[in-house]
Amino acid sequence: MSTDVIVLNGGSSSGKSGIVRCLQALLPQPWINLGVDDLIERLPPALLDSGSGITFGQGGDVVLGDEWRAIENAWTIGIAAMARAGARVIIDDNFLGGRASQERLRGHLDGLRVLWVGVHCSPEAAEAREFARGNRAPGMAAQQATKVHEGVVYDVEVDTTHAESLDCARIIARHVS
Amino acid sequence: MSTDVIVLNGGSSSGKSGIVRCLQALLPQPWINLGVDDLIERLPPALLDSGSGITFGQGGDVVLGDEWRAIENAWTIGIAAMARAGARVIIDDNFLGGRASQERLRGHLDGLRVLWVGVHCSPEAAEAREFARGNRAPGMAAQQATKVHEGVVYDVEVDTTHAESLDCARIIARHVS
Amino acid sequence: MSTDVIVLNGGSSSGKSGIVRCLQALLPQPWINLGVDDLIERLPPALLDSGSGITFGQGGDVVLGDEWRAIENAWTIGIAAMARAGARVIIDDNFLGGRASQERLRGHLDGLRVLWVGVHCSPEAAEAREFARGNRAPGMAAQQATKVHEGVVYDVEVDTTHAESLDCARIIARHVS
Amino acid sequence: MSTDVIVLNGGSSSGKSGIVRCLQALLPQPWINLGVDDLIERLPPALLDSGSGITFGQGGDVVLGDEWRAIENAWTIGIAAMARAGARVIIDDNFLGGRASQERLRGHLDGLRVLWVGVHCSPEAAEAREFARGNRAPGMAAQQATKVHEGVVYDVEVDTTHAESLDCARIIARHVS
């Protein structure tokens, strides 16, 4: 029974992208990567910083409007369909709603073999990395660091606070079948 | 009856990306954009320049292997599912197989209202733009300029040889319902 | 007597970057490129959108503060020194002050053989390209299109309104000795 | 007596760029950043992967040809001139020649107050980060990790193996006057 989907959940600046690139290089099968940031990049400008779309507030708040929710729902249905059609997909996400976000995604991925991965990072380290990136809304890292994991159930968990992305990816790869 | 999917077909360096950005800004509804280049970016490195994946040859040849075809098939199924779930999607593509590529995509988009758009550009202008971009495999633009349109049937056609992306987008937008 | 410096002056979205890439590929000698946009990218965040640094206003205004002027002055002195030390440099710039900007730059480049190139583009075409890029402050293209050329004296002039970057670069290349 | 130039020397993937962004945000005065990677980006394509320019070999070797050396020399003279004209400059570099590289740069920066900073990283961590970036010639990180520091004398040294860029930048900032 092989894994169909890998879901990486972690706060902003917790190191998900580096882990994804390592997983893509380490895993023997081809995995494509689609995450919430990809959807944001594909949005029309009118949905960015708009009440109906997605807004990045001053203190790191992320506010999601009705248009965003509708599009994100369709987007997720599409990714699940890709996986059902045979594409191996790594989804990287921030579960802003914690357990409720996981349950919603679990519903979309029904029937697929999913590896749920928690990507932890201390708020302090995530905040320092956010600062060093210089292109993220300040505050998101600290605010999301623990919140996105509330009530979420994982198959494997890694912590990037003191470990390299590559070492985290190696741990995850051992759970991919 | 509103349009569900806009398909832009044109050769490499024919100006599709500029038209997409203009359409996203012009159209009153939110449209997300997913194209073949997005899939290429999401691939693992092992599928790039690999016989089983996608290879960009010396003279601008693009060679597609079995793994590529399998993933592209699943990817397209997923995008169709997004559109059926209510996301408005602009697909930009190069129909390397001309009419056969269109028929394959038409099959995937069954039941959706699709606006088929041909994005033409003279081989000379496309080649000059490829040269000016400096980051594309030389030869693709000239090779694809007319080939991707062979036998393809469109609802609307634009030509970027002497027109700005914005003007082309305005013509297309009038056909979006 | 060989050319030491090529100065391309044109408004925002007039097509300077494409011409630069073509010139670098066409010219037999190695030319490095440094322009005002490179300086902006290297600035600390505190000087962006700051009264003392550089501000991109609502209607396309660019407001330059004292800190910006001091750094730009030092930057230009450095580029002139690179050229005097033997590096062939293509400078792309917007002469917001028209002739006065040219005279200031001419002073810095004293003793060097400079090819002054005007990159024209109709306000309408530049504005359409700015719109299609989607990542520029709207209004700059139209506002700068003719203003940056006021009173400026050129060795060669090109117009990108109806010509490809590559064709413009070929015209310029014939004047490089 | 205030610092004119900060030189960060460290191997590939040792974390210099993150430290630079933090320093630019932390330091009260405006500092611009110019490094060897900036020069590489500005080069014409003919000097990349060319015997006379700069070549990135299979195992992480970096081979420098005569044209490269001539341009880099002129580039460094220009940066020193910028600093003498009052721009505060952070130079990030890899001293492939160890002490000899430092002595050459010291010669160029004669008369300027320079803060020499060593950015250390264990070969293992640098290699893991190189792998996670996915866009660097494999092998450079491990090969340069200790080599670039051979015989080099520093005013301050940081180690990114177990510390965040921000913490390293804070240590460095205390030495900037």
Burial status of residue B33 (CB atoms within 10 A of its CB: 0-12, 13-18, 19 or more):
buried
**For residue C120, what pLDDT is reported?**
98
Put simply, the answer to whether A134 touches D21 (Cβ < 8 Å) is: yes
Put simply, the answer to whether A75 touches B83 (Cβ < 8 Å) is: no
Q: What is the pLDDT of residues D83-127, one digit of tens each?
A: 999 999 999 999 999 999 999 999 999 999 999 999 999 999 999
Look up residue A19 and give its amino acid: I
Longest dimension (CA), chain A: 45
Which residue has better confidence, B118 or A55? Answer: B118
Q: What is the ipTM of this complex?
A: 0.94
- Tell me which chain C residues have a C-beta less than 8 angstroms from the C-beta of D27: 44
Put simply, the answer to whether A42 touches B34 (Cβ < 8 Å) is: yes
Which residue has better confidence, C42 or D20? Answer: D20
Q: What is the pLDDT of residues D130-153, one digit of tens each?
A: 999 988 888 999 999 999 999 999
> What is the bridge-based pairing of β-strands D88-93 and D31-35?
parallel
Q: Hey, which residues does C7 pair with through a beta bridge?
A: C91, C116
Q: How confident is the model at residue D52 (pLDDT cuts 50, 70, 90)?
A: confident
Residues of A with CB under 8 A from a CB of D: 18-19, 21-22, 24-25, 125, 128-129, 131-134, 162, 164-167, 169
Task: Give every CB contact of residue C151 below 8 A, 6+ residues apart in sequence.
Answer: C98, C99, C102
8 Å CB contact between D90 and D6: yes
* Residue range D2-25: mean pLDDT, rounded: 97
- Count of CB atoms situated within 10 Å of the CB of A71: 25
- Closest CA in chain A for residue B52: A30
Q: Which of D156, D128, D153 is nearest to D141 (CA)?
A: D128
Distances from the Cα of A1 to the Cαs of A118, B18, B90, C25, D162, in angstroms? 22, 44, 35, 52, 38
Q: Which of A27, A21, A142, A143 is nearest to A92 (CA)?
A: A21
Q: Please report which residue ranges of chain D form alpha helices under DSSP H.
A: 16-26, 36-42, 66-84, 99-108, 123-133, 140-147, 165-173
Q: What is the pLDDT of residues C106-153, one digit of tens each?
A: 999 999 999 999 999 999 999 999 999 988 888 999 999 999 999 999
Look up residue A167 and give its amino acid: D
Question: What is the average pLDDT score of chain D?
Answer: 94
- Tell me which chain C residues have a C-beta less than 8 angstroms from the C-beta of B132: 18-19, 21-22, 164-166, 169
Q: Please report which residue ranges of C43-120 form alpha helices under DSSP H.
A: 66-84, 99-108
* Positions of A marked catalytic: 37
**For residue B86, what pLDDT is reported?**
96
**For residue A58, what pLDDT is reported?**
79
Residue numbers in chain B where pLDDT is lower than 50: none
**For residue C32, what pLDDT is reported?**
95
pLDDT beyond 90 at C58: no
pTM of the model: 0.94
- pLDDT more than 70, % of chain A: 100
* Residue range C39-53: mean pLDDT, rounded: 86
Put simply, the answer to whether C86 touches D75 (Cβ < 8 Å) is: no
**For residue D128, what pLDDT is reported?**
96
Q: Is B155 marked active-site?
A: no
Q: Hey, which residues does B120 pair with through a beta bridge?
A: B159
Put simply, the answer to whether A164 touches D125 (Cβ < 8 Å) is: yes
Of B125, B165, B166, the CB nearest to C164: B125
**For residue A138, what pLDDT is reported?**
86
**For residue C170, what pLDDT is reported?**
98
pLDDT beyond 90 at C46: no
Q: The tokens 């027109």 sit on which residue?
A: B163
pLDDT beyond 80 at A27: yes
8 Å CB contact between D58 and D139: yes
* Positions of D marked catalytic: 37
- Closest CA in chain C for residue B163: C162
Q: How far is C172 from chain D (nearest CA, A)?
A: 17
- Closest CA in chain C for residue B124: C164
Which of B4, B37, B49, B110 is the catalytic position?
A: B37
* Residue range C55-70: mean pLDDT, rounded: 89
**For residue B138, what pLDDT is reported?**
86
- Tell me which chain B residues have a C-beta less than 8 angstroms from the C-beta of C167: 128
Rounded to whole angstroms, how far apart are CA atoms B47 and B53? Answer: 4
Q: What angle do CA A16, A18, A24 make, to 5 degrees?
A: 100
Rounded to whole angstroms, how far apart are CA atoms D79 and D35? Answer: 10
User: Six-digit token pair at A45?
Assistant: 């400008």
**For residue D57, what pLDDT is reported?**
82
* Residue range D30-51: mean pLDDT, rounded: 89
Q: How confident is the model at residue A135 (pLDDT cuts 50, 70, 90)?
A: confident
**For residue B88, what pLDDT is reported?**
97
